[in-house]
Amino acid sequence: MSAYARMVLDLLSVAVLGLVGVRLATIARRAATSPQLRARTIEIVRGLRPRHFVLVPLVLTGVVVVAVLAVQVPGLSFGWWTAIGGNGNVIVGSTGRDTGPITRLAPLVFLTVLIPLIPLLAEREERVFRFGAEDWSGWRRARRAVEFGLVHLVMGIPIGVALALSIGGGYFTWAYLRGWRRAGGRQVLGAPEAGLLESTRAHAAYNGTVLSLALVALAFTR
């Protein structure tokens, strides 16, 4: 690779990290200054129970195994972030390019900002991809799980990894339906919201585990 090409990729990496950093800071500021969002975060966190964590290792193992196998398929290892020298996904901010303090500090800063936002970000995705699943066919539930995985391509992960995240999508759908049934199902008007809260907590527990592992890995690689 020429020096010019390396310079362009370095600048592109820094620009992307800068944009992501600004976006995360905006979301964090809004979450910190809104009483409603703070109250919702507390509600989600206070409702976390062992059942929301117990299956996370199994689901995460399934995602990792499928991801490792999927990226061996030609074409499925491509991700736009890795294509410009990044590692993992752009939200974590890890890059194989050393362009100074920005790229070295970005993973720690991004993870620190992300952790308090886990409940709200999880709820946003659950409302988009799970709410109303009690009225869906099995095929539609499966399709939405795959779409949930593929939407993470915007984070720059390889296509195979995005497909593997469909396993997580299926698990969150199961959690939604569990919460919906526990709340009374079709006999109770508020059951869908209860299902949403249950899948949000399962999703938050999963993401919290993943980010905690990322922090540990970051600590051992510094």
Report CA Rg, the chain: 19
Residue 114 banded pLDDT, cuts 50, 70, 90: confident
SS3 181: helix
SS3 95: strand
What pLDDT does 125 receive? 94
Cα–Cα distance, 63 to 7 (Å, whole number): 35
74 Cβ contact list (under 8 Å, min separation 6): none
User: Which tens digits make up the pLDDT trace of 55-88?
Assistant: 999 999 999 999 999 999 999 988 877 766 666 5
What pLDDT does 2 receive? 60
What pLDDT does 49 receive? 96
pTM of the entire predicted model: 0.84
Cα–Cα distance, 134 to 143 (Å, whole number): 14
Taking Cα atoms as reference points, which of 200, 63, 54, 46 lies closest to residue 124?
A: 200
Q: Per-domain residue ranges for the chain?
A: 3-221
What pLDDT does 9 receive? 47
Q: Are 179 and 196 in contact (CB under 8 A)?
A: yes
User: Which tens digits make up the pLDDT trace of 129-145?
Assistant: 999 999 999 999 999 99
Give the amino acid at 180.
W
SS3 86: strand
User: Which tens digits make up the pLDDT trace of 186-198?
Assistant: 888 899 999 999 9
Per-residue H/E/C for 204-217: HHHHHHHHHHHHHH
pLDDT of 209 above 80: yes
Residue 175 banded pLDDT, cuts 50, 70, 90: very high
CA distance to 93, 99, 108, 122, 222, per residue, from 219 (Å): 14, 20, 9, 25, 6
